[in-house]
Structures are given as structure tokens and as C-alpha cells.
Chains A and B, each alone.
Chain A
Amino acid sequence: MENKTIIYLLAFCCIGAAASCKKDYLNKVASDNVQVEEVFSTITNAEKFVNNIYTSLPSWDYSNGNSYTISSGTDEGKQIWANGFQIFNTGSWNPSSFFPISIDWFNYYEGIRECNTFLKYYDLIPADPSHPAWKPRLKGEVFTLRAYFYSHLFKEWGTIPLLSTPVSPYGSESDLYYPRSSYEDVIKFVNSDLDSAAGALPFAYSDVTLLGRATKMVGLAIKSRMLLYYASPLFNPQNDPTRWQTAASVAKEALDDALANGYVLNSNYANVFLDYNNQEVIWNRPMGSGAIDQVMVSLGNGGWGNSGPIQEFVDAYEMAATGLPITNPASGFNPKRPYVGRDPRFYATVLYPLEWWTWRKIDAQGVDKPTAGQTASGYFWRKYMSVSTDLYYGRGYVPRKWVLFRTGELYLNYAEAQNEALGPDATVYSAVNAIRNRAGMPNLPAGLSQADMRSAIQHERRIEMAFESQRFWDVRRWKIAEVVDNGPVHSVLYSINATDTTYTYPVLQTRVFDASKHYFMPIPQSEMDKMAGKNPDFKQTTGW
């Protein structure tokens, strides 16, 4: 009897011990926590993951959330608020303080991490047999997005760490620290991503629900812009001509492919930025329908009038009839009526004093004047502005998309690269003239020197792609920022009497650009502090 009890007890003990060995006792069971398997176990969920990566794409407002536009950081405009891009005007930015550009560092790397996460789990995603192209398409999109984010970082910082996996922040320290890779390595990395994407993506989507997703065309556009940067003086101080040649041939390929696939110049310049869909746009970012109006529209129309074009920018528009700059006495410019007869793109880009907007005339010295302490140029944005928007009543909002790439840029990329590689040949002329003619401007005069052509192309780029977040970086890669972003900039004042309106141009701001360090962005100081003593390979940008 006794022994039996013991045997039972022992048996119980063994069962207990065996049960204890059951390893999964501590395993977490399914719950409302969403695990990686759930996201990548169906292709619809995986697509949702990709969808969200697109939210890292830039828009008109800096980093898609700050009501600042980078055009006010360069010779396009000026912000009336005393924050945001103002410090870039006054030169008082430094590694500890260069908001809002400083947040690009994290924002693009956050997008890159999401891309890397997707690629890591790509093999988990089941293919859809009835849509065999679906799964590879997602991968192509992600490669393109990653390439785009890196190209942005390249543009801003030049040399950057290249991460191709979602690095765990919890691993050993040696896994966390990267050096800044050379331009060559970045180019190689981005090109390789784009080549991987190219096979999986079409030039354009026939399915209208897919519009806005990355295409093969987007990849080519990224490549074209990036190689142009790589060949430019800032990145190419030795002026290695092969870089220009590569940039030219890629730009040509991109332009040819664009034209062959229906990405042609829109006959109406203004509509490129207003039509929700038009054939010129290669890639864009939907930007909703009211926010840009709120920030940019003048006070008299219920907006904040935040970023006003400066006089220097207005002055850059040529006369439509002659194609000559207003400084040329032969241009036909009348200082008494400065807004008459200018390049038609002026009227699609800038709202100037006494111009009609919606139901009223812009009155920069009256109701459109900003509150005390804020200084405005007297001009307002017109590009992207929808005339139907009524901020007072909250109606008439029209959804628009921010242009990331369009065919117009490809013409100019090609023209610039070709001019640098081989000089102003006929293809250069025809590319620039295609842009000018579409806008209603005459051809460039024949017989321009390579240098004259360079100036003409730079001018054309400034006018054509005004406010498209290009100029701030263009003046850097051309290394002209020390000229154009240095010194006084002006606003406009006017007085009206019975017969005449007189315009004066007081100094709005004196800008400071330090050529010894302002061309590339500094690494945020907080980031440098994190690596102090741990990652000696990671160096601050030269000059900072």
C-alpha cells in the first residue's frame, strides 16, 4: 500500500517534470499584437506595408508636416515667419540647429528602414497565382523608394551611411556604427537598387488605381537627377567629364523612354501643378486639398501668406516677346509696368501686387500685409494655388499632387549634361527650346558658347521648376549659392496716384552664405554625440 502510494507520487513527479520540460509553456499566444508574420503572410497586408512607405515621400511642406517650404531658404522666396527656413537665410544654422532640414536625416532613414524591413521579409510573402506580377511589383516599388530616399540624402549630405538591412538597435555596438560611404558607393548602391526594380515595374500603369506607385520611369528619373548631381561641380570638383557623359546618356535614355511611354510635356504649364492627373508628371505625392492654400494664400484671402517670392526671383523672368532678361535694354521691359509682358510662366507662378486673385485684387500693403514684426516680399505663390479654394467658407477645395518628377525636368537634365559633356549641340538647343516653347517663350538665340548655354540652362531650370524644391539644391551643386544666396534680397512696395503706379524695391533681408561649409548639410549634433568615441569612422561634414 505504502509503496504503491510512493509509485503514484513518483509517477506524478515524473509527469510534472515532463510537463516542465514543455518548452512552449512560456510562448506568447496569439493576441491583438500584430507580428511580422501577420504583415507578410498575405500579399494584401504586405502591400499595405509598402503603401505606408510612400508617406515618407516629400511634399510641398517640409518633411510633410511643417508649414515651411524650402523655396524660402534660397533665392526663390522668403518666409514671413521668424522660424523655419529663416536661419538658412541669415546663415545662423549649425549642426545643433538647422531645423527643419535636420529632420530629413531621420525621416529618410526611417523610410529606408521600412524598405529594408520589407526586403528582409520579402520571401515570406506568398505570390498571388492569379496576379503573378503583383509580388515582384511590390519589391520593385520598394527598391525604387529606397533609391529615392538615398538619392535625397546624397543630395543633402553627399557621403552617407548605406544600410541594406533593418539593423537592430539592440545588437552589439559594432553592428550599429557605419562610416559615411563615398559618392561612388552611394551611386553604385542606388543604381543597383534601380536596376533591381526595373525588371519588375512597368513604365506606366494601365490600372488607374495604381497611379502614384513607383514605375520603371520613376527609377530612370531618379537616376537621371542623381547622376546630374554626381557630375555637378559640388560633387565633381575635378570636373571628371565621364560623369557628365554618363549623366547625359542616362538623361537621354530617360527622356526617350518617357516620350515613348506617354510622358510628354503638358501644353499648359500651370495645369501641370493643378490637374490631378496629367501626362507630364512621372511621380508625385498627393497632398490633399486645403493645407497648401492655407499656408500660401494671402491674408486677405484667409491664408497665412507664409512664403513670398522675392524681387530677385521676379526679376529673373524674361520678357516673353524678346526672350531677353529685363536688364537688357532691348528686352522691352517697362519699369513702370513691371508685370507686363513677362515670361508666361511668371503669371502661373507668382501673384504680384494689384493682380486679381479670386474675387479681389492682391493688396500687399493693405489687407494682405502680414502682422507687425513679420516682413513680406509683397508677392505670393500662385503655382499650385487653386483659385476655387475659399478658405473663409472652407469650400472649393481641390485635391492636388506635389510633383516629384516630370518630363520637363528630363529635358533640362539632358540639356545640362549634354552641354557639359559635348557642348551646346543641336540636341541641347532642342531640349531647352522644347521647354521654352511649351511655356510660350521664343527659342534661345543660336550660337551660344558652352558657358552661355550653361547660364541659359540654369536660368531655365530656375524659372521652369520654381518652387519645386529644386533650386535650394541646384544652387549648391552648381556652387553658385555663395553668390545668389549671399547679400541683400528685395521686396516690392508700390504707390498709386491718379495716373501712375510707382514701384520701389527696399531691401527685405541680407542673406549670408558661408561657402566654406554651407554647401553640404552637417550631421545633426545629436547624432554626432551618439557616436562620439564609438564610431571614429563617422565624421562630421567638412567645414562644420
Chain B
Amino acid sequence: MAFSLFKLRICSKSAIMRCNLIVLLTLLFTSLLHAKDAGSQSLLEKKITLTVKNQLLKDALNKITEMDGVNIIFTGNSLFNTERVSIDVKSVSLKKVLNELLAPYPLTYKVVDDYVVIKRTAANPETNTPLNGFVDPRDTLKGRVTDPVGNALPGVSVTVIGKPFGAATNDVGAYSIPVSPDDSIRFSFVGYKTLVRSVRNKDELNVQMEADSTGLNDVVVTGYGQVQKSISVTGAISTVRTKELKQSPVANLSNALAGRLPGLTAIQSSGLPGSDAAAIYIRGVGTYGANKSPLIVIDGLPRGDANFGDIDVNEVASVSILKDAASTSLYGVQGANGVVLITTKRGKTSGKPNIEFNGQYSQQRPTRLPTYLDAYHTALLINEGRTNEGSSPIYTNQQLQIIQSKSDPYTYPDVDWYSVILKPSAPQQRYNINISGGNDIGTYFVSGSYLHQGSLLKAADNNKYGVSDKYDRYNLRSNINLNVSKMLSLRLDLATRLENRTGPGAGVDQGVAAYDWIFKMLSQYSRTTSPVYNPDGSYAFGTGMPPDWRNILAEIQSTGYYNNFWHSTNGTVEATHLLDVITPGLKIKGLVTFENYGTIDYAQSQHYDSYRYSKDPVTGTETYAQMTTANSLTKTYSTSGYRYYFYDVQLNYDRRFGRHNISGMFLGNRSYTSVYNDLPHVYQGLVGNASYNYDQRYYLQFNFGYNGSENFPPGKRYGFFPAVSAGWIISDEEFFKNNIRLMNFLKLRGSYGIVGNDQISTSRWLFLSNYSPITAANGYTFGNPGTNVAGYYESSVGNENVTWERAKKADIAIETGFFKNAVKLTVDYFHERRDNILTTPRTIPDYLGVSVIQPKNVGSVVNRGIEIDLNVNTHVGKVNLFGNINYSLAKNKILYADEPQLAYAYQYAKGRPIGDSLGYIADGIYRSQAEIDKGPKSTLTAKSLPGDIRYKDMNGDGVIDAKDRAMIANYNFPTQTFGGSIGFAVYNFDFSILFQGALGGVANYQGYLIPQYQYRPYQWNNRWTAQTAQTARYPSMHYNDWTNDNVNSTFWQYKTDYIKLRNFEVGYSLTGKLLQRVKIKKFRVFINAQNLVTWDKLPFNDVDPEINPSGNTAVPYPINKVYNAGVTVNL
């Protein structure tokens, strides 16, 4: 038996025949149940007992279904909802009952498999088609229907327009229908856009249905590859799809997420090619433990190499974040920080292959670069600092004049190192070609991508080694689905990623990464120290005070180069087998996946010749002192490697009993990661899910993960992480439907559950005591003569009670749709309490004698917030308008951190947000010596000067010392993030724009603002001087002793609130006959840009507010704006 097939009579002139959802689902089960067809005809003989009095026809039919287990399918004919019937029979054959019930109406029935299908009696006299026969079956059209993800869509209604034939797809999405060569076929399914395709002499037609974006029936991918309609989702999940992701011309996918998803915080802190990923957090941070980051899951599975940002965007169908316990509990012990779930694309059963080409070219420009004072002003400030401290100026007036006139650039240089080293922009290119397609045997999606990111270093392409500094990435993916038999399907995915990073050899002798070293020097090298070149053209050399003792240009041009190669390959084989023989609706899946990844790092480095030039001011004699000497290249290299395996076996059950829908999943899994330098990491566990819904109105779901982590001691490794969730679609209730017009959808959902986080520490085996040997040389001495002996000591005391962090999460949400879903609003409130946070205990008595106290699971944090997601999708005339505003608030507070009784209450971490640290409360600056004499005495410096920061004497003892430090914010993490996008499409133009912002972050710019090497305009303009004593905002200049000001204090804190114009895009799609003639389906050109404008409240506009400056003097590789133009061609 091939598949179920029956015909549907078109019941009205209206082109679309509406099936209700129950019918479709029933059809799905029809397919599932087809294996057992014996006795289908005897179905009509089944004895029925039925008593109905003046009820609607549909209720009478439903009653038969519910009471007697006969599945009756009836189409959305108005008769069912209007006609009332009465019947009272006992043990009468179904045939008789149906005859009696349907007789008064133009309705007839037919048995299909185990089902009775009721339809309208043939009413078209012209065709006069017998119900049970095919008319002129000259050709049979076959094909397969899939959803946007490539999964088979069973139960899709397939009709021939203008003909009374109908068919539905079977469980693998396949259909077969008799057609004439010039017929058109309509595919319709609730929640998907109706498709019409012409037959044109084909005998096979595969289609992929697109989700109807106005519907709430989008498919949502949840844990372990499960697919759910969003209407039925009872957890908190947000999804962004390819279209939006592709609007961001960023190299790293993570940077395309900011502002797109409510509940997600993305923080980019560097723009370094190949290392510019944003850190991702879900619902803020809920722990001060080691790992605050979400679990990364790709195609349903946790991966070893979780750099999801380096997957090419063209391979990605969607990125979802799972936020609450109901959606993450499947990942049990790893799910507490939320889950980022990436789903890759799959082929569609479109028949013809779809070939897509994407090409883009961009220029990347720093959003902001630090600005520094020129040498003359720097020298003035240096002198001022000296004078303030009571010592003699460094520069004489004559020297100042020379500096100002720049007349002696070799002795008194003024080098703007940023412009010497950096060029204004760096190129980026990316190309992708992908081919997808499929038929009822299978589908495929094959994609290849290349990305090139250039470096901002001027010398990047200009060095004697013939290498250019860059980041190259190659992504390959092949996702294949095969329908081996009607019972067995296979999935075979292979993906690989190759990355090459090339850069200068700088920093090798410092043990620092090249770019870190270069940018550290750049932001610390004073302008007055050294010229770039000496008069004779040799590299100049600095003064010998770090970090000024190198020549930055030479460090880039003449220190060699490095090549770092990253490789990552993964493959997955999954087999799904239907187990209808055991019970209908049951299937089993087995999956094996592996992943190999690692690095090959190779560098050639050398020193360069550099000289310190000096000229005798009297005699004019020039001397060149050689400071560094070139040597030949020296190689260094290292490799690392990882191998990850994961396998699971999964049982799925999905069945409808009348209006009761039951589904369940049970899965056992295991993973194993070999690590090149440590014991392998292993996990195993069981995962389960049970869902029930009644009439698709009331939803109830139970999920659990029962899994173990080797991080915990035997007997305490496994945890049970349950979550319950429920949903109620109020808008499907009669009282709602009949009374409320504007709002077409209203759903309440809520969840509560427990999830864990086993990545609580950077070290493993916390539960084991570790003993360290002491060599004889270092041991105790016994004997005569004295001889040292070896020893052992307990170097760490195992915490035999170590366990996972436990998050209890509650979520309650309301989902609405207005004006036929043109406007949708979802509001979530969440409350999370994280316990068992690994905390270095501060209340363990010393008399226990433990020298190294391992952390203990004692900390607690509460994290609460809301998420609002507003979507608009409508059209005004020919203009398609879409917009989204999302807002997230997440505030955390430490409830317990095992602190001892502190002498000063303001020093407790308890009650403060995560990330606070001890610092002084600034109370302005001392305007005069008189104020110093009056105020509390600072012990931070030997001598306070007017213009120094005044701190609050918290304990009132008249002295400013460590006891006056209070907990102050010191963690540049926003509590609120929001995104707003709007776009429209009209004719062939499309336009979209995205703003994104963050509020509530506070950062300490101490290292950046206190001049240690470079002086900044901000200091020049606002510093304390005798003249500006009353108005100055910034401390007076020091030269040697900044100790009073250079401490963590609120003085250097600034709010990092910002709004960024993250992204905009304009596209134009070519259409017309020309394209058709050259067989191009689609041709779109577009320009887009990223990070165009930043608005913030920082008083200096040369630092990106996303960068966390916390005490660093070094400013990292800048975040980039990207200007991009591209083309997409579909063949």
C-alpha cells in the first residue's frame, strides 16, 4: 500500500477549500495508521450506540468519534455547524446511523482506511463525476510537500484547480493525484501559505510550503530536533530567521543577533578579524559562577565546537533562544543559562534544484578610535603634573617651543601612532553558493561559503614576508534527507569549517597575542616618546620605559608572522523508523554524530634592527645607538585537537484520540569529548517529554532531563530536571470568538521548572581531594647526616558535595494577535532563583585546617525581568509593512554569597547586583588646599593635592582607607536591552532598519582616563587647574603619584547606555521577461550596513560603549562599522 489517497469534493466556487485543523491532523493520523487496513470495510458494520437530541450535526458526529472510537472526518461545510439532528439508536451499524443522519442533507460518506470521510454530494452536473472514480487519469502527478525546515508535511490538502479531485499528503509528505498536463495544483495547509503550481507536463512536483507569517502556526524548533507549531508552544522561545540574520553584513553570526530577540543580550567587545564574536547571554546573568553563557545547540544537539557565530549565515534557517525551564529542561544539567539553538537549512521537495549565489563586498571602519593630545599639549600636561607635585618641569620653554613648532621631529617627535599604524578601513568579502532541492526520495542542501576579513593594520599587506594579515573562513555543508522506505528515513549531515588567521609576529617574545600586543602599545605609546623612523630611515626606538621601548610599526612589519589554522568537521547520521506495528503514532530514531576540531598554530618570528638617535645640541654630532638587533626567523608551533561524539536513541509517540492529542518523546543520550591535553569529558542522560492538548485549546506539557555530569562525585552525578508548562488559547473559546473582534488571538502560557548548570568551575574533579608530591629536595630533613626526604600533602580538599547550580525558573506570558495577526504582542515575565552557585566560602573556620578551600555550592542569586515583543506585519495598498519592537529587562541580585560578618554593612555583596566590587565613593574633587585640610585624610597618597578626588569617609573615622570602600558597580552589563526594526517592501524594493540599545550598564574608565602614557583631550578640557578650581570636572594633573585617583571608585564610572543604528538594508529585486529568458528565478541587489551610528552618554566620544574598559589601559581592536553591497541570484 503506497499511501492514502482519497478525493475531496470542492464544495464551493471559492477557490480555497478550508479544512479545519482537526481534519488535517486526522489525515495525518490516517497516514500513520495506514499499515493496518484489514477490516476497513467492516468499519461500517461496527455497532454504534448514540443518543443525540437536537444537537448540531458536527457534535453528533464528534460524539460517535469520542464514544465509539470511530474516526469520522468531515470538511468545513457550514451544514455541520448549522443543521441540528436527533437520533437515538442502540447497537446499530455505523452504516445505518450515518445513512439516517446524513439523509436529509446533500452529504455522502466513504471509508478511507480506518476513517469515514463525509463530504458533500456531487453537485456539479457538468462534470457529473462519480465520487469513487478517477476521471480520465491520463497522468498521475506525484510529489512531496515539506515545511520550511525541509521536514515532510503530512496532511497537506492537494487539489486540482477547477476539478473535483483532492488528495492529502501521507506521513512522508508524499502525494499522488491524477492530472491533465495543463492543470494547476493548489497546496493548502493551515499555517502555511497556499501554493499554486502548474503541472506543465511534469509528472513530479515537489513543493516546500512557506509558513504563513501572519499565522501563529510558525514552526518552532525545540530541543533535540523536535518541531512544534508555535501555537502549541508552552515555553518561552524566541526565534530569528535567515532573512533578518542576512541583513547584517557581519562576519560573525553572533553580531547579527543584537536587537533581534527579546531576552537576548549580545555584547561585542572587539572587532578583531576572526575573533569579533559577541558574548551572548539569555535573560541577563543569573549567576556569578564560572559559566554565565548559554548552552549552544546546533540542529538539536549540544556541540563540542560551539562557535556558532562562525557558521555561515546562508546555512542557517533560524536561531532560537530557549529561555525558560520548560524549553531548556531537556538539556537538564546544562540548561540553566538558557539555550541558543541554531537550525541549519535543508532541501525542499521542489523537484527542480534551487541554485543560489550570494556575493558581498564590504568595507569595515572603526566605530570609534581613541583620540590623544598632540605632543605639545602632552608636554604641557606633563610639566603641569610635575609642577603640581612640587617638582621641576620636564620640558623647558625652549623645548616646548620646538615641540610646538615640530621643528625637530627626531628629538622631539609628535607621532600620531594610530594614523601611522591603522588605515581608515579594511575590506571584507563573502561568497556563498548553495544548491538545494529534492523529491520524494529525498532532499538535499549543499552549501559552500568563503569569507575574507582584512585587517586595519596599514602594513597588513606590506611586509617582507609576503603574507597578508587577514581572516579567511571556508564553510561547507551538506544536509541530506533520504526516504529509504515508507517506514524508514535517513538524515545525513556533513559540515566543515576551516579558518585561517594570519597576523604579524609581534608579541611572540612577550607571550602575548599579536593584536593584543599591538593595540596595547597603540593605546599606551606616548606621542612624545619616539619617532617612527630615524633620520637615516632606520626604525627608531623608544625611551626604554615600558611600553615605549618598541617600535610599533616595526613590530608589525618586521617581526615575522603567524598562521593559525582552525578546523572543525562534523557529521550526523540519523535514522527514523515508524513503529506503527507496535502502536500507531510510535516511531524510533537513532542518531550518531561526531565532530573533530582543533588548531594548528605556526609562527615565524624575529627581531628587527632599531636605533636610538640622538643629536648633540651643541656640536650637532649625531649618534645612533643600536637598541635591538635583527636575527633570523625562529619558528614556534603548537596544535590542539578535540573529538566529540554524541549518540542518542529516541522514541516518539504522537497520536490523536478524538480531541485528545497526546505526544511524547523519550531519549537516551551520551556524549564523549576527547581533549588533546586532558581526560575526556563525558555526559549521559535521559530526556523525556509528554504533551497533551485538548481540542488544541488547552495545552499541558511535561519535560524532563535526567542526566549526569562527571563533574560530580559518584552517587551524586545524576539530577532530575523537570518542568511543567501549560497553555490556554482563550481566543478559541466560544465566548471569546463570539464577542471579541479586534483581537483574534489570545493565549496564556506559563511554565515552572528546574534546570542545572554543571559548568560551575574552570577546574574539574572538584569532588576529589588531590595530593601533591614534594620532591626530596624540598622535603623535610631527617637523620644523621641530615637527608631530605620526599613528601605528600593534600593540596586540595575535595568537595564531596559539589553539585550543579540549580535554577528554579518560572515564566508567565500572554500572547496576543490583533487585526488578523497584523499586530502581535507577547509579554513574558520571568523569575529565576539560582541556588548552589559555586562560591569560595568565607565562613569556613580556619581550625578545620584546610589550606586551599575549594568553592562550595552555597551562593544564591535572584534574576527577574520582563520581555515585550511587538510585531507588526501588514500591507497598506501594495506596500508590505513589517516592524518589530522588543524590550528586555533582567535584574539580578545576590541573595547569599557566604560572606562572614563584615564590620561595614556597605561592603556586603549580598543584596547587590552581580559584578559589583569594592571601591571608593567619590565625592567630587578637592577644590583647594583648604578643603583638603578640612576633609578626611587620604591614606592612599603621601600628599593630597588640590584637584585630587575626594572620597566619602564611609565609616566616619576621619581617614580614607580600605575600610571606606563600598560595593560599587563595576560590570559593564546592561540590565535593559531593546531593539526596534521597521521595514517595508513595495514593488521590487525592500527596505529595513534596525535600532538596538542597551541601558543600565556601568563601566569604570579609570585605566582609560588616568594618563599613564597618553594624554587625552578630555583631560585637557576638564582638568583641575588653579584657574578652573571651581569648575573643573576632572582631577589635577599628576606625574609620578596618581595613587589617590588611580583606585576603583565611582569617580570613573560612567553609564554605558547606548542606542545604535545597528543595521539598515535597501534591496531591489529584478523581475521581468529578461530574467525568465536567462532562466534566473530571482536577482536581488542590496546594500546594507552595520553599526552605523552610536548614541551614548559617555562624555568622551572616542570609546565604544560596548567595550568593557574595566581598569584596562589598553583599548582593544575597535568594533567596526560595515558598509556592504551584495547580490543574490537564484537559478
A positions within 8 Å CB-CB of B: 2-3, 5-6, 9-10, 12-13, 16-17, 19-20, 25-29, 31, 33-36, 38-39, 45, 48-49, 51-52, 54-55, 105-106, 109-114, 116-117, 160-161, 163, 166-171, 176-178, 208-213, 276-277, 286, 399, 524, 526-527, 529-535
Contacts and interface: CB of A to CB of B under 8 A. Distances in A.
Nearest to A12: B590
Nearest to B899: A529
Nearest to A160: B847
Interface in B776-800: 779-787, 789-794, 797, 799-800
B784 A5 contact: no
Contacts of A111: 849
B847 A527 contact: yes
Given A55-B780, A530-B900, A9 B768 contact: no
9 A-B pairs closest in CB distance = A113-B849, A52-B791, A532-B901, A286-B781, A529-B900, A109-B849, A34-B771, A170-B799, A209-B783
A15 B1008 CA distance: 61
Contact of B797 (A33, A109, A169, A210): A169
Given A6-B579, A6-B581, A530-B845, 20 more contacts: A2-B485, A9-B588, A12-B590, A19-B670, A25-B670, A33-B768, A48-B789, A48-B790, A49-B791, A51-B780, A113-B849, A160-B847, A161-B847, A163-B848, A169-B856, A208-B783, A210-B782, A276-B784, A529-B903, A530-B846
A2 B487 CA distance: 8
A26 B649 contact: no
A276 B785 contact: yes
B845 A54 contact: no
A171 B770 CA distance: 18
B450 interface: no
Interface stretch (B231-239, B355-363, B836-844, B1050-1058): B836-844
Contacts of A524: 846
Which of B487, B844, B846 is most buried by chain A, counting CB atoms within 10 A of its CB?
B846
Contact of B709 (A26, A33, A114, A535): A26
B781 A35 contact: no
Interface in B793-831: 793-794, 797, 799-802
A169 B771 contact: no
Contacts of A531: 843, 845
A12 B793 CA distance: 48
B553 interface: no
Contacts of B769: 35-36
B848 A176 contact: yes
Interface centre among A19, A51, A54 (most CB of B within 10 A): A51
B793 A49 contact: yes
6 contacts: A16-B649, A48-B791, A51-B789, A52-B780, A277-B784, A532-B900
Contacts of A276: 784-786
A161 to B, nearest CB: 5
In this complex, the member of B581, B769, B779, B787 whose beta carbon has the largest number of chain A beta carbons within 10 angstroms is B769
Nearest to B685: A20
A277 B708 CA distance: 59
A162 to B, nearest CB: 9
Contacts of A49: 771, 791-793
A5 B768 contact: no
A541 to B, nearest CB: 14
B784 to A, nearest CB: 5
B668 A16 contact: yes
A20 B901 contact: no
Contact of A45 (B488, B792, B847): B792
A116 B849 CA distance: 10
A171 B792 CA distance: 25
Contacts of B851: 110
Contacts of B841: 169
B773 interface: yes
A342 B792 CA distance: 49
B845 A527 contact: yes
Interface in B739-780: 765, 768-774, 779-780
B714 interface: yes
Given A9-B577, A210-B782, A27 B714 contact: yes
A386 B579 CA distance: 91
Interface string B865-906: 000000000000000000000000000000000001111000
B574 to A, nearest CB: 13
A171 B801 contact: yes
Nearest to A24: B714
Contacts of B786: 212, 276, 286, 399
Interface of B: 485, 487-488, 577, 579, 581-582, 588, 590, 647, 649, 651, 668, 670, 679, 682-684, 686, 708-710, 714, 717, 765, 768-774, 779-787, 789-794, 797, 799-802, 841-851, 853-854, 856, 900-903
A215 to B, nearest CB: 12
B713 to A, nearest CB: 10
A355 B801 CA distance: 64
A211 B782 contact: yes
B901 A529 contact: yes
A25 B784 contact: no
A218 B637 CA distance: 58
B693 to A, nearest CB: 28
A109 B846 CA distance: 7
B1097 to A, nearest CB: 40
A212 B784 CA distance: 9
A178 B845 CA distance: 9
Contacts of B801: 168, 170-171
Contacts of B843: 530-531, 534
A12 B849 CA distance: 52
B577 A5 contact: yes
A169 B842 CA distance: 11
B626 to A, nearest CB: 36
Contacts of A9: 577, 588, 590
A169 B789 contact: no
B718 to A, nearest CB: 9
B482 to A, nearest CB: 15
Contacts of B792: 34, 39, 45, 48-49, 52
Contacts of B846: 105-106, 109, 524, 526-527, 530
A17 B853 CA distance: 39
Contacts of B651: 13
Given A35-B768, A36-B771, A533-B901, A13 B784 contact: no
Contacts of B850: 110, 113, 169
Nearest to B788: A286
A33 B794 CA distance: 11
Contacts of A286: 780-782, 786
A211 B647 CA distance: 61
Nearest to B900: A529
A45 B842 CA distance: 33
Contacts of B790: 48, 51
A410 B769 CA distance: 41
Contact of A34 (B588, B770, B799): B770
A445 B231 CA distance: 107
A106 B797 CA distance: 16
A19 B670 CA distance: 10
B848 A20 contact: no
A277 B797 CA distance: 37
A104 B846 CA distance: 11
Contacts of B717: 26
A20 B670 contact: yes
B684 A176 contact: no
Contacts of B794: 113-114, 117
B847 A170 contact: no
Nearest to B672: A25
B845 A177 contact: yes
Contacts of B800: 168, 170
Nearest to B770: A33
Given A26-B717, A170-B856, A286-B780, A109 B768 contact: no
Nearest to B577: A9
